A and B are shown apart, each in its own frame.
Chain A
Amino acid sequence: MNRAEDVGRILKVSGPLVVAEGMGTSRMYDVVKVSEKRLIGEIIGLEGKRASIQVYEDTGGIGPGEPVYPTHDPLSVELGPGLVAAIYDGIQRPLSDIAARTGSFISRGVEIPALPRERRWNFVPQVKKGQKVTVGDILGTVSETVLIEHRIMVPPDLSGEIVEIKKGMFTVEDTVAVIKDKDGKKVNLTMMQRWPVRRPRPYKRKHAPYEILSTGQRVIDTFYPLCKGGTACVPGPFGSGKTVIQHQLAKWADAEVIIYVGCGERGNEMTDVLIEFPELADPKSGEPLMKRTVLIANTSNMPVAAREASVYTGITIAEYFRDMGYSVALMADSTSRWAEAMREISGRLEEMPGEEGYPAYLSARIAEFYERAGLVECLGSDDRRGALSVIGAVSPPGGDLSDPVVQATLRVVKVFWSLEANLAYARHFPAISWLRSYSLYTPSVAESVRETLGAKFLEDSKEAMRLLQEEDELAEIVRLIGIDALSPKERLIMEAARSIREDFLHQNAFHEIDTYASLDKQAKMLSAVLRYYREARKALDAGADLDDLIELPVREKIARTRYIPEGDRERIPKIEEEVVEAISSLKRKEEVTS
């Protein structure tokens, strides 16, 4: 397989870093196989014939003098039918097959192809013989799951004329089409492509995102929305609910394909996804969520270097689905662990460190990663568009937002959901701070939101935010002088803001109904909450008693609108009417007594 003179020799082993000599024929980022155990590694530095290699598996028992076999290929992923519902490790080895082969523990040197080779897929051609096709054109489709129609595309760097196109059941290695390229050479195409993970997949052009990616989470959709093709980050200390938010987005985000990258996090969290997703139904189609999900799991106890690769593996798969014209959302939990993996390798390479020991290229790598998101016009003769939204969790030490990873991330992402420990301690979930977070997409989505939900929702959301800000200022006064210092009007603002927080923003991810609220339900709930404030305000002006207004029993009904199922959401405007009625009857009572 390898010529003898190509085989290198190990000089040094230090944790996941191996230095080998005699690697003259290899290039940067080539994959190599280390020792007779054939551990997978990647070249991350070359000096003369000497290569620094990061090894994706445990290097215990490896020593100088052992061979290093080059493959002369960059680290790549396999793209084709079989991706959906799979669970891979950081370098796209299927964990289910590894478990079948080596048992409950991952042993070293396992080589298993990412896509199943035996399985046959029903290939339905979309082009005819003699047709001219260009890069990105859809040759045919495979119905991979009920939710995903896998579109087989002409791979990048190829165009020409279809000489042969097949129909029927094929494996990913069978030829399904033959193309005569512009030099007259016949090229056999299979349903599988390979793509190097560190190179972004090409597209025609990028567009500014404008359409809201609804997530079913009230604080996000109403106040800090994300766009299809946008980027967001969720930094927060441990226990503030980063992972729950990521899981909620993976479950309920209005995307067609979900890529979930568990990067250096807990094994049980991935197990949770594996158990829960096949059982949860997608709110739109009613089909199991697993049928639109790809999982990349490189948990914290798995080798560090593969953690570094896992985010690239994830985003390359995500780009592939984007290229088919899908709206894809990628969750990376947590990008801090990815950065730490970079730091560890950089330290072993004895590079000059930047901030906090992180390599100087940290922020460049982070920016490059998030820049792979976007709303794009895909390659191909049809004008299909695909979107890739990226949501990265960040785990800053001690929850300190001055952490270099947080800072580098904030410079590139457009949405910042700030998680706060104090909210988490009071079990206000999602613990997203309504005052410190931001979304630069609010103006971009305004138009599409206005079209679907009407202008009132936008006004309501602004009004609610204003009340929350006023509450913050008033709370300061209360802390200093006491509640008695506030006028009835101000106390009503405090009450209204409390209602926004407790009855609207708070959302229980583990409650079967409350876990998801459609945009329409959100608009109706917010409208009811604010209607109470507006009517009470008028009543107060007309001389009503504040305590009577605060103690209105109908408010309990507003608090319970969250438990109203999606199908019954028309009940919410009725509750709103009851609020109006209750307040006006209060006014009438006052008039009678006075």
Chain B
Amino acid sequence: MTSQKTPSTKTEKTASKQKLRGIIDYQTITSVSGPLLLVEGVEGVKYEELVEIFLPSGERRRGRVLEVNQDKALIQVFEGSAGIGIGQTRVRFLGKGITLGVSEELLGRVFDGLGRPRDGSPPLIPEEFRDINGLPINPYARSYPNEFIQTGISCIDGLNTLVRGQKLPLFSGSGLPHNRMAAQIVRQARILGAEEEFAVVFGAMGITFEEAQFFIDDFRRTGALERAVLFLNLADDPAIERIATPRVVFTAAEYLAFTKDYHVLVILTDITNYCEALREISAARKEIPGRRGYPGYLYTDLATIYERSGRIKGSEGSITLIPILTMPEDDKTHPIPDLTGYITEGQIILSRTLHHKNVSPPVDVLPSLSRLKDKGIGAGKTREDHADLFNQLYAAYARGKEAAELAVILGEAALTDIDKQFMGFAESFERRYVSQDEYEDRTISETLDLGWELLIMLPRAEMKRVRDENLVKYYDKAAAKFKKSEEKHAS
């Protein structure tokens, strides 16, 4: 087989190409629409490649290749397309993906949404550069998250237990105190019996200056700032940059956790803004939209972010993720909370009704869930009665809420005695168990004992979810203690 060589008769396609130290600059932008640029006549461009864009004003922006079709490349500009003109703007393909330089010096620093210093200090000297897209964790190499994290918040520790390596989002709404709750978790989270503290990687996407400042101040006050890395893309920063922010966050977190053995707590806020940026790109590309205009690949996209948390066999570190999202119109079936719930290992839902009733934190206990709790609790981890206790608390609270609903319609008199008892239980449960001060740090045994203290309001025969030995050991003990204190009061 001889391949015939055709002499290269092609002249350079465009005069606008300039050769600069072996890197080609193109001035062949043919269309600009929203945050997208189309560059023609390109050669050797790769999918997902990092791009630099030089504006006539001397400004330099960054983008990435979204699609490449023969000699046409579609580019997404992180900082938006304002000021980009056809014919004057130069585009340079850098031959690599977007990377983040990582080293332990990350801790204590503040960066922008693409990983450039924002705190006025010089750029750090990286140990290595990592592609921000990362690689999928091999499920075979994962180690199952089962170490209990005590957050000191009863409705998390007792009912929706968080474990190391879990991803547990806060589903909230505008105006609800999700930031305070997240800050409380960062403040109080600890592993029982271990002294090491969590390193915090904080990613802000489109939140306001005030919200970001709240976290920074709280981190500073508690000393968490020294072991924190912050990536801030605020509301007035370029929206498209947000698409890179969670990936940059996880690149830093993976480095700290799996290379440097830190236990990392990642806070991402607000996922809703991230998804909206994604929708903007999808709309600009004229893709067929899925539900509510969000792209059909939203699930996959979110999964490639969230699934980067976890634990890996043979590595000391872990990544625990708490993403925060505000549900539009408090609607849990909106695509963002819906798809998030399908990926994360549970959810903590904040309720506006409870917030109005002055229950704080206003956690809606019934639809909240931690999927990994079962392996993180029990003898040796928390206490042997934990599983029975929370099952019983849930069942009793659900029945109490049902009775309360009935009472609203028919009046309390229409309830049976037992239903009245359940209703009373539900009220005390919200007031004493769910409610807790922002600075109150309850130990796990305090939380569990409080649960039994509430359950003795109900007859023993109703404790159907509790096995016999725990009934004797805990229910009867709590009941006896209560009786004793009653008698003391009486005498």
Chain A positions near chain B (C-beta within 8 angstroms): 3-5, 11-15, 19, 58-65, 87, 95-96, 98-99, 102-107, 237-239, 262, 264, 266-268, 270-272, 274-275, 297, 299-304, 337, 340, 343-344, 347, 353, 356-357, 395, 397-400, 421, 424-428, 478-484, 502-503, 508, 510-511, 551, 553, 555-556, 559-560, 563
> What's the least CB distance linking B339 to chain A, in Å?
8
Query: CB distance A275 to B144 under 8 Å?
Result: yes
Pick the contact of A99 from B71, B138, B367 — CB < 8 Å?
B138
- Assembly CA distance A60 to B410 (angstroms): 63
Q: Can you spell out 6 A-B residue pairs with CB atoms less than 8 angstroms apart? A: A14-B68, A99-B140, A267-B137, A272-B375, A297-B139, A426-B394
- Assembly CA distance A340 to B68 (angstroms): 23
Query: CB distance B140 to A87 under 8 Å?
Result: yes
Query: CB distance B69 to A12 under 8 Å?
Result: yes
Query: CB distance B347 to A268 under 8 Å?
Result: no
> What's the least CB distance linking A555 to chain B, in Å?
7
Interface string of B284-310 (1 = CB under 8 A from A): 000111110000110110011001101
Query: CB distance B347 to A3 under 8 Å?
Result: no
Q: Which 4 A-B pairs have the closest CB atoms?
A: A398-B333, A300-B303, A482-B414, A426-B398
B342 closest partner in A (C-beta): A238
B45: chain A residues within 8 A (beta carbon):
63-64
Q: Is B47 an interface residue (CB 8 A)?
A: yes
Query: CB distance A14 to B69 under 8 Å?
Result: yes
A3 closest partner in B (C-beta): B1
**Given contacts A105-B135, A267-B137, A357-B289, A425 and B44 within 8 Å (CB-CB):** no
Pick the contact of B141 from A99, A483, A510 — CB < 8 Å?
A99
Query: CB distance B304 to A481 under 8 Å?
Result: no
**Given contacts A13-B68, A61-B49, A337-B299, A425 and B366 within 8 Å (CB-CB):** yes
A421: chain B residues within 8 A (beta carbon):
367
Pick the contact of B467 from A299, A424, A510, A563 — CB < 8 Å?
A563
A239: chain B residues within 8 A (beta carbon):
341, 346-347, 367, 369, 371
Pick the contact of B307 from A11, A59, A299, A556 — CB < 8 Å?
A299
B133 closest partner in A (C-beta): A60
Query: CB distance A398 to B47 under 8 Å?
Result: no
**Given contacts A14-B67, A95-B139, A340-B300, A268 and B144 within 8 Å (CB-CB):** yes
A421 closest partner in B (C-beta): B367
B66 closest partner in A (C-beta): A14
> What's the least CB distance linking A513 to chain B, in Å?
9
Query: CB distance A268 to B372 under 8 Å?
Result: yes
Pick the contact of B395 from A103, A299, A426 — CB < 8 Å?
A426
Interface string of B376-404 (1 = CB under 8 A from A): 00000000000100010011001100000
**Given contacts A13-B67, A60-B47, A426-B399, A395 and B290 within 8 Å (CB-CB):** no
Query: CB distance B300 to A300 under 8 Å?
Result: yes
B166 closest partner in A (C-beta): A268
Pick the contact of B144 from A99, A102, A272, A395 — CB < 8 Å?
A272
- Assembly CA distance A267 to B299 (angstroms): 15
A87: chain B residues within 8 A (beta carbon):
139-140
A303 closest partner in B (C-beta): B136
Query: CB distance B139 to A267 under 8 Å?
Result: yes
List which B323-345 residues lie within 8 A (CB) of chain A.
332-335, 338-339, 341-343, 345
Query: CB distance A106 to B138 under 8 Å?
Result: yes
Q: Is B142 an interface residue (CB 8 A)?
A: yes
B465: chain A residues within 8 A (beta carbon):
427, 508
B343: chain A residues within 8 A (beta carbon):
266, 300
Pick the contact of B464 from A268, A337, A559 — CB < 8 Å?
A559
Among B140, B299, B334, max chain A CB count under 10 A is at: B140
- Assembly CA distance A275 to B313 (angstroms): 12
A19: chain B residues within 8 A (beta carbon):
69
A302: chain B residues within 8 A (beta carbon):
136
Known: A106-B136, A274-B139. 10 other contacts (CB 8 A): A4-B3, A12-B68, A268-B144, A272-B375, A275-B144, A300-B303, A343-B290, A426-B366, A479-B409, A556-B461
Q: How many residues of B contact A (CB 8 A)?
A: 87
Query: CB distance A96 to B296 under 8 Å?
Result: no
A353: chain B residues within 8 A (beta carbon):
288
A503: chain B residues within 8 A (beta carbon):
464
- Assembly CA distance A408 to B290 (angstroms): 18
Query: CB distance A104 to B464 under 8 Å?
Result: no
Query: CB distance B347 to A267 under 8 Å?
Result: no
A238: chain B residues within 8 A (beta carbon):
338, 341-342, 347
Query: CB distance A301 to B307 under 8 Å?
Result: yes
A484 closest partner in B (C-beta): B414
Query: CB distance A343 to B136 under 8 Å?
Result: no
Query: CB distance B461 to A264 under 8 Å?
Result: no
B372 closest partner in A (C-beta): A268
- Assembly CA distance A344 to B48 (angstroms): 18
B399: chain A residues within 8 A (beta carbon):
426
B313 closest partner in A (C-beta): A104
A428: chain B residues within 8 A (beta carbon):
395
> What's the least CB distance linking B218 to chain A, in Å?
30
- Assembly CA distance A299 to B420 (angstroms): 47
Among A59, A98, A300, max chain B CB count under 10 A is at: A300
B415: chain A residues within 8 A (beta carbon):
482-483
- Assembly CA distance A62 to B49 (angstroms): 9
> What's the least CB distance linking B419 to chain A, in Å?
8
Query: CB distance B142 to A347 under 8 Å?
Result: no
Query: CB distance A13 to B47 under 8 Å?
Result: yes
- Assembly CA distance A559 to B466 (angstroms): 11
Query: CB distance A104 to B258 under 8 Å?
Result: yes
Query: CB distance B333 to A62 under 8 Å?
Result: no
Query: CB distance B137 to A62 under 8 Å?
Result: no
**Given contacts A62-B47, A301-B303, A267 and B367 within 8 Å (CB-CB):** no
B333: chain A residues within 8 A (beta carbon):
237, 397-400
B367: chain A residues within 8 A (beta carbon):
239, 421, 425
> What's the least CB distance linking B371 to chain A, in Å?
8
Pick the contact of B139 from A270, A357, A482 — CB < 8 Å?
A270
Query: CB distance A483 to B461 under 8 Å?
Result: no
B43 closest partner in A (C-beta): A65
Among A95, A267, A400, A425, max chain B CB count under 10 A is at: A267
A553: chain B residues within 8 A (beta carbon):
461
Query: CB distance A11 to B70 under 8 Å?
Result: yes
Q: Is B315 an interface residue (CB 8 A)?
A: yes
- Assembly CA distance A96 to B289 (angstroms): 38
> What's the least CB distance linking B49 to chain A, in Å?
7
Query: CB distance B69 to A61 under 8 Å?
Result: no
- Assembly CA distance A96 to B139 (angstroms): 9
**Given contacts A62-B47, A397-B335, A427-B391, A105 and B70 within 8 Å (CB-CB):** no
List which B246-270 residues lie within 8 A (CB) of chain A.
258
B394: chain A residues within 8 A (beta carbon):
426-427
Query: CB distance B141 to A104 under 8 Å?
Result: yes
**Given contacts A95-B138, A508-B391, A560-B468, A59 and B313 within 8 Å (CB-CB):** no
- Assembly CA distance A343 to B290 (angstroms): 10
Query: CB distance A64 to B71 under 8 Å?
Result: yes
> What's the least CB distance linking B75 to chain A, in Å?
13
Among B299, B345, B414, max chain A CB count under 10 A is at: B299
Query: CB distance A107 to B387 under 8 Å?
Result: no
Query: CB distance A266 to B345 under 8 Å?
Result: yes
A103: chain B residues within 8 A (beta carbon):
138, 141
- Assembly CA distance A18 to B375 (angstroms): 43
Query: CB distance B414 to A65 under 8 Å?
Result: no
Among B144, B291, B375, max chain A CB count under 10 A is at: B144
- Assembly CA distance A448 to B363 (angstroms): 49
Q: Is B143 an interface residue (CB 8 A)?
A: yes
